Amino acid sequence: MVAPEDVDALAHLLAGRKVVVLSGAGCSTESGIPDYRGPGTRERARNPIQAREFVSRPEARARYWRRSAVGYPKIAAARPNAAHRALARLEAQGTVRGIITQNVDGLHQVAGSRVVIELHGALSLVRCLGCDQRSSRDALQSRLLADNPHVDFAATALAPDGDADVEIHVEFRVPSCEACGGVLKPDVVFFGEGVPRPRVDAAFALLESADALLVVGSSLAVFSGYRFVRHAHARGVPVAIVNLGETRGDPHASLRVDASAGAALAALAARLDLAARSSLETRST
């Protein structure tokens, strides 16, 4: 639940402003996609794969793709929740000018948001490390299953990075790039990798057009997102944070709402809708 006074405060801060949203994993947990640092996150038995490990060790790639083959269908089947729908509604209202997301699930676009910068890439795509060709993750899923008919792909607990907590007990064949035979990697930023510069520049350019930053569902523990809060604060742009639990950006926030993203954003969109209708009715009388 979200307190009515918190919704009032959010609406008061954001109404009439050009708002850019920074979204994190907490925006997608209500769609069944777990996060790394939320209050309900269980202790993980393993750490996420590192970029260097994936690139340098064939056995690490096999382990990742084995787990991904199990976990990916759950990510692909996920649907937008109330938070995604509310942000699309706020964009349609003219309040939200765009979203910088740390998520790789594509749910903002499915919900109808049009201006979305995917800071960490998209799980729906695969990139060849040899020729840089992009291809569909759905197509690779078909190849993974076809090339490994002896493997049990029964669903298990989904992990935050789009794979699943399973172990390899049999040999697992990893398909290579059909164009050049190179190594295939999900088109996402792994731990230990930097966000591509053009993507960072696009995000900062979007933020420069804003006069408010709304952080949704992110602990801001990772610098790739936290830097935008610091930048907004340095420019004197008010920062509102909606998150369950404390965040690294709290000292820079003009407003902090401890609530689930879905409840808070749905209430905010409804409140701003009501305010816009009241304003129109007042002008027409």
Active site residues: 120
Token pair in block for residue 227: 């830097």
Q: How far apart are CA 30 and CA 260, in angstroms?
A: 9
Residue 155 burial by Cβ neighbours in a 10 Å radius (0-12, 13-18, 19+): exposed
Q: Which of 52, 41, 77, 227 is nearest to 129 (CA)?
A: 52
Phi first, then psi: give them for residue 256, nearest 5 degrees.
Answer: -130, 120
Q: Which of 142, 182, 198, 195 is nearest to 58 (CA)?
A: 182
Residue 64 sits at the vertex; the CA angle it makes with 186 and 38, to the nearest 5 degrees, is: 80
What DSSP string runs through 95-133?
Answer: SEEEEEE---S-HHHHHT---EEETTEEEEEEEETTT--
Cβ atoms of residues 213 and 232 within 8 Å: yes
Burial of 187-214, coded b for 16+ CB within 10 Å and e otherwise, reads bbbbeebebeeebbeebeebbeebbbbb
Phi first, then psi: give them for residue 175, nearest 5 degrees.
Answer: -65, 150
